[in-house]
Amino acid sequence: MDKYLVENESQIKEALDWALAGGKSLSLAGNSTKESLGRPIQADAELNLSSLSGIELYEPAELVMQAKAGTRLSDIEAVLKQSGQKLAFQPPDYGPLLGGQEGQGTIGGIFSANLSGSERIKAGAARDHLLGVKGFSGRGEAFQTGSRVMKNVTGYDLCKLVCGSYGTIALCTDLTFKVLPKGEKARTILIFGLAEKKAVEVMRNGLSSRHEVSAAAYLPGKIAAETDIDHVSRAQSSVTALRVEGPGPSAEYRCATLRKEFDAEGPQDELHGHNSEKFWKFTSDVRPFLGQGTIWKVSIPPASSPAYIDKVKQACPGIEYYFDWGGGLVWLKVPEEMENGGETFVRNFPDGGHATLIRGNILLRNTISPFQPQDPVMTLLMEKVRAGFDPKGIFNPGRMYAMSGDV
Amino acid sequence: MVKMPKPDEEVLAKRDYLIRKLRELVDNPDSVIAEKAGLRAFECDGLSAYRQLPMVAVLPETKEEIAEILKFCKSEKVNVVPRGAGTSLSGGALPLADGVLLGLGKFSRILEVDYDNRCAVVQPGVTNLAITDAVKQDGFYYAPDPSSQIACTIGGNIAENSGGVHCLKYGLTTNNVLGVEMVTMDGDIIRLGGKHLDADGYDLMGVVTGSEGLLGVITEVTVRLLKSPECVSAQLIGFPSSEEAGECVGRIIGAGIIPAGMEMMDRYAIHAAEEFCHAGYPLDVEALLIVELDGPEVEIAHNNELIAQIAGECGATVIKQSQSDEERMTFWAGRKAAFPAVGRISPDYMCMDGTIPRSQLPRVLARMNELSKHYGLRVANVFHAGDGNLHPLILFDANIPGELEKCEQFGADILKLCVEVGGVLTGEHGVGIEKRDLMTEMFSEEDLKQQQRLKCAFDPDGRLNPGKVFPILHRCAELGKMHVHNGELPFPDLPRF
Ligand SMILES: Cc1cc2nc3c(=O)[nH]c(=O)nc-3n(C[C@H](O)[C@H](O)[C@H](O)COP(=O)(O)OP(=O)(O)OC[C@H]3O[C@@H](n4cnc5c(N)ncnc54)[C@H](O)[C@@H]3O)c2cc1C
């Protein structure tokens, strides 16, 4: 497959016209860190957008930044840090998880996949922070949607559609997004030795408290032992973690109050500053699951996670797992040899939800649907939506779901 | 005045037949209203300069009825206008002379409060405030709080992606909804989202939110519940100029504080509000900020101190800290009553709703003053300062011939100005009919076509709420056509690697 490194919009336009005229298709890539995510695609050429990079606008007092799609997240985060700001949805870095390097992901990639880290539970997902998009439709026409202001209901919110569409709706060249102040101080409360059910209850109580808990995760003992944070690994038991933040006195107050509330639940500890940050990077980037094994990201109503995991454990004793988002996100590592990646039990939700295959070999990704299968009505509707933007299927054909006409 | 599409004579000719059939489709024959007197109730929404009786109104009781009604209307080529409480300020719920007005008022039940998953499942006709009322005894609330919250429905909120004074910190409707159930024009009942997070497949819930009733009829909503904050406090800060107030807003946010709410009023609005409800506003300032903080007391004290310092540096002449919850409510009473207060001093007013990059505030206000002189109409400004959402209230008298048109012209000029400085036509009230013909100020032909292609996927015949949002309705067949350019170049000047 030929790869083309495009450097400006007129080259993109040329490439799209070429594809349209010749019935060709294109795979769209930034730094290709998430190439193995989704259905394997057969495109005639790769359009590489990593050279479209640079921050075009940053106004800290207006909480807004605009950058070209190929701008590295690590560059963006470094600039934001200088003004005490951050991307509040905590974009995860799946690079190492998917067998690549750290720090390679692009802003276009993170929004195209709508990926968010542990802090999503309070701050919202990537999609909640995307304000505007400039790009091309699969008709080869340049268009824009949204704007640079925080509050905008002018026309349909197509940003939401583009976000999480894995490059099957539009080719994005520029993205405008909301940024937020980094809490001055963060504290992570650790409670040791809880079983799943109790842990989910504790996380629920934390998240339903007045303390604006910004992240809540549960690591079984085996996973906790793998962190390189002494306070966590040396406990040799499960860890339930809750994060609070704010100006110094506030973070301390929230932390102390919550700790008192959870006094009876088990032994506690707390993480500050660097260690706290390290912990939530570990959970957000799915660091426990580096190496081998099939990985699923399961989004379910938080209260259903204990029952869900019980069933999964019965079906697959070798399973490894942990909870994020207060139980609303279950990360599963299924042994590689499991038939169909364990899809049958993974997608058996007691109270609704969906599962995405995040890491799976190419055979598996060709056999089962990496994205949650849809009923016929939704399949048709989504395909109509997609085809409206890209009728000839020139962008990442079939990356999410089969296109009409495909098998 | 904005023109509505010409009514379809064929549809009008079979009105009696349609009414008879609609009565067969619903369980309760009283759900179909065909008499003029009964239809009056739906004649307009919050944009009351526009009035139109619907051909017929139907108030269904179940989603299955809605599915049948929509299927029937599709097959009979009849347009449908969904309606919640009719508080839209952009004419989104304005009926059509040849259309069915579909009122969701009977869908008024809270179906489930689920604290374990921190959410509530409600029917679309439930009012915004009723959700909070149902959970407040347990210390919870639903965050988006439009000023119309006693009346407006959650279905309408979804359709308009409504905001409120607290959306700076807590987000708009779109950020607080977990799931919707919706009936499409084909009569399919679909579910988008649920009690879990993130979309599976495309984020259709994201595009349905804010789609102004053009994509489907919402029949159930799952919203996120939050715990009420421990303490809340507000400050009134007065400035000799709006520039200084604007500067203060930017510096507060720049200092890393996201207040729960941050509102600004100009001199005219301050005086109107003070006269109306004696909120204790200083009258010798040009701009007034209300800054509300919530959280634990230590945090509020810490941030209040910082804000007072910033305000002082920005030239504030008055800083007043609420000493009790009662006093805080009084501060807000003035702001919340700004619309009726202005309504008292002028026979009519029109509320505009543009958003601008905040740094452009001085330029926009100065230009607005010039326009005010030019049109000879006064304007009062209330402003969601934190997120740059302006609500200029233009004062006019509809009984003076030509004044409504003049007011609309003035309003259009303000909105064009918002776009010119990098902002948008509407921050929370929606396009509806009011800003429909201004869409081309903000979007190119191609931008608008992309949006309409989304519409084509849901409602290719354009039966749902036609005449709203889009200035020109292209036929879907026409929108579907591909124009392929020559494009035979095998990338002559692209680097390969
Ligand atoms: C005094 C006043 C203050 C206001 N303050 C604010 C404010 O602070 N912030 C703000 O954002 N807005 C505000 N508004 C505007 C208005 O209240 C909101 O837009 C509100 O969401 C409309 O809700 P509704 O139930 O009245 O909807 P309606 O006016 O009945 O309908 C609005 C739109 O939604 C569609 N719709 C309604 N229900 C459904 C459904 N079930 N399915 C599909 N489509 C549907 C209609 O077709 C229409 O296009 C204010 C209005 C007034 C009169």
pLDDT band at A30 (very low <50, low <70, confident <90, very high): confident
CB contact under 8 A, B207 and A158: yes
Model confidence, pTM: 0.96
**Residue A33: pLDDT band with limits 50, 70, 90:** confident
Residues B138-170 as b or e (16 or more Cβ within 10 Å = b)? ebbbbbbbbbbbebbbbbbbbbbbbbbbbbbbb
Q: Given an 8 Å threshold on Cβ–Cβ distance, is B451 in contact with A5? A: no
Q: Which residue of A has its CA nearest to B431?
A: A154
- A18 with B256: Cβ contact below 8 A: no
Q: How far apart are the CA of B468 and the centre of ligand 1, in A?
A: 14
Say whether A209 sits in a helix, a strand or coil. Answer: coil
Query: What's the gap in Å between B88 CA and the centre of ligand 1?
Result: 4
pLDDT at B339 (0 to 100): 83
Chain A, chain B: beta-carbon pairs less than 8 Å apart: 313
Distance between Cα B113 and ligand 1 center (Å): 23
**B positions 71-100 inside 8 Å of A (CB):** none
The residue of chain B nearest to residue A85, with distances taken between CA atoms, is B256
Q: Locate the ligand 1 atom nearest the alpha carbon of residue B157 and give its number.
A: 21
Q: How far is B439 from chain A (nearest CA, A)?
A: 8
Cβ atoms within 10 A of the Cβ of A187, count? 24
Q: What residues in chain B have per-residue pLDDT under 70?
A: 483-497
Helices B297-313 + A248-261 axis angle, to 10: 170
From A141, which residue of chain B is nearest by alpha-carbon distance? B446
Pocket test for ligand 1, best of B42, B52, B65, B87 (most atoms within 8 A of CB): B87
* Amino acid at position B156, single letter: G
B82 touches ligand 1 (CB under 6 Å): yes
Rounded-to-5 percentages of helix, strand, coil across chain B: 40, 20, 40
**Which two structure tokens, joined as six digits, stand for B171?**
């987000």
**pLDDT tens-digit readout, B15-25:** 999 999 999 99
Q: Which residue from B minimizes the CA distance to A6?
A: B494
How far is the alpha carbon of B79 from chain A, nearest alpha carbon, in Å? Answer: 20
**In the block, residue with structure tokens 């032992």:** A225
- Residue B45 CB less than 6 A away from ligand 1: yes
| Residue in A158, A159, A401 closest to B454 by CB | A158
Q: Inspect the interface and report whether the beta carbons of B161 and A153 lie closer than 8 Å.
A: yes
Is residue B362 within 8 Å of A124, Cβ to Cβ? no
Choices 3.30.70.2190, 3.20.20.140, 3.30.413.10, 3.60.15.10: CATH for A185-284? 3.30.70.2190
Q: Does B202 touch chain A (CB under 8 A)?
A: yes
Give the position, in ligand 1's atom list, of the atom nearest the Cα of B158.
21
Q: How far is the CA of B132 from the centre of ligand 1 (A)?
A: 17
Q: Which atom of ligand 1 is nearest to the CA of B340?
A: 1
**Which chain B residues have a beta carbon less than 8 Å from that of A135?**
none
Q: Does B482 touch chain A (CB under 8 A)?
A: yes
How far apart CA A123 and CA A105 sit, in angstroms, is: 21
Contact A149 B356 (CB under 8 A): yes
Query: From the list B357, B457, B483, which residue is nearest A148 (CB)?
Result: B357
Whole-number Å distance, alpha carbon B154 to ligand 1 midpoint, is: 8
How far apart, in whole angstroms, are the C-alpha atoms of residue A205 and residue A188? 15
Among B106, B158, B162, the mutation site with the greatest number of ligand 1 atoms within 8 A of its Cβ is B162
pLDDT of residue B455: 97
Instruction: Give the number of other CB atoms < 10 A from CB of residue B475.
Output: 12
The whole-number pLDDT of residue A76 equals 98
- SS3 state at A214: coil
Chain B's closest residue to A128, CA to CA, is B175
Tell me the chain B residues in contact with residue A204 when contact means C-beta distances shorter than 8 Å. 116, 118
Interface touch A372/B203, C-beta < 8 Å? no
Q: What is the pLDDT of residue B198?
A: 97
- Chain A CB contacts of B439 under 8 Å are 154-155
Q: Can you give the pLDDT at residue B487?
A: 53
Using most ligand atoms within 8 A of CB, pick from B4, B142, B154, B160 the residue to mutate for ligand 1. B160
Query: SS3 letters for A49-84?
Result: CCCCCCEEEEEHHHCEEEEECCCEHHHHHHHHHHCC
CA distances from A363 to A38, A368, B61 (A): 12, 9, 49
CATH number of A1-182: 3.30.300.30, 3.40.50.10540, 3.30.70.1230, 3.30.465.10?
3.30.465.10
Determine phi and psi for B249, rounding to 5 degrees: -60, -50
Q: Å from B245 to nearest chain A CA?
A: 14
Residue A135 phi, psi dihedral angles, 5° rounding: 180, -155
Q: What is the pLDDT of residue B343?
A: 82
Q: Is B434 left (phi over 0), alpha (psi -120 to 50) or beta?
A: alpha
Check CB contact under 8 Å for B430 and A153. Answer: yes
Residue B273 in 3-state DSSP? helix
A289 CA → ligand 1 middle, Å = 46
Q: Which ranges in chain B are annotated with CATH 3.30.465.10?
A: 110-227
Q: How far is residue B104 from each of residues A168, A309, B33, B75, B82, measured CA to CA in Å?
A: 35, 40, 14, 22, 7
Residues 6-35 of B with CB under 8 A from A: none
Q: Is the Cβ pair B175, A128 closer than 8 Å?
A: yes
Task: Tell me if domain A1-182 and domain A185-284 are identical in fold.
Answer: no
Please identify, by atom number, the ligand 1 atom nearest to the C-alpha of residue B468. 49
Expressed in angstroms and rounded, the spacing between residue B92 Cα and the centre of ligand 1 is 8
Nearest chain A residue to B162, by CA: A153
**Contact criterion met (CB < 8 Å) for A372 and B201:** yes
Which of A2, A125, A142 minimises the CB distance to B496?
A2
Cβ-defined contact of B496 to A151 (cutoff 8 Å): no
Residue A300 backbone dihedrals phi, psi, to 5 degrees: -140, 165
Give chain A's largest Cα–Cα span. 69
Residue B379 contacts A, CB cutoff 8 Å:
no
Whole-number pLDDT of residue A35 = 85
B49, two tokens: 């300069």
How confident is residue A407, by pLDDT bands cut at 50, 70 and 90? very low
A271-324, pLDDT tens digit by residue?
999 999 999 999 999 999 999 999 999 999 999 999 999 999 999 999 999 999
Return the closest-CA partner of residue B357 out of A112, A55, A151.
A151
The DSSP 8-state label assigned to residue B487 in this structure reads -
Instruction: Look up residue B275 and give its two tokens.
Output: 């006269």
CATH number of B232-339: 3.30.70.2190
Choosing among 3.50.50.60, 3.40.50.880, 3.40.50.280, 3.30.43.10, the CATH entry for B9-103 is 3.30.43.10
* Residues β-bridged to residue A240: A191, A218
Fold of B346-430: Alpha-Beta Plaits (3.30.70)
Annotated domain spans of chain A: 1-182, 185-284, 287-367
Q: Indicate the CATH number for domain A287-367.
A: 3.30.70
Second-level CATH architecture of B110-227 = 2-Layer Sandwich (3.30)
Atom of ligand 1 nearest to the CA of B149: 17
- Angle (CA) B276-B388-B304 rounded to 5° is 75
Q: What is the DSSP letter of B107?
A: -
Q: Please give the Cα distance from B200 to A241 (Å, whole number).
A: 27
Pocket probe for ligand 1: among B107, B147, B181, the residue whose CB has the most ligand atoms within 8 Å is B147
Bridge partners (DSSP) of residue A245 are A186
Chain A residues with CB-CB distance to B424 below 8 A: 147, 149, 152, 154
How much is the pLDDT for B493?
A: 52
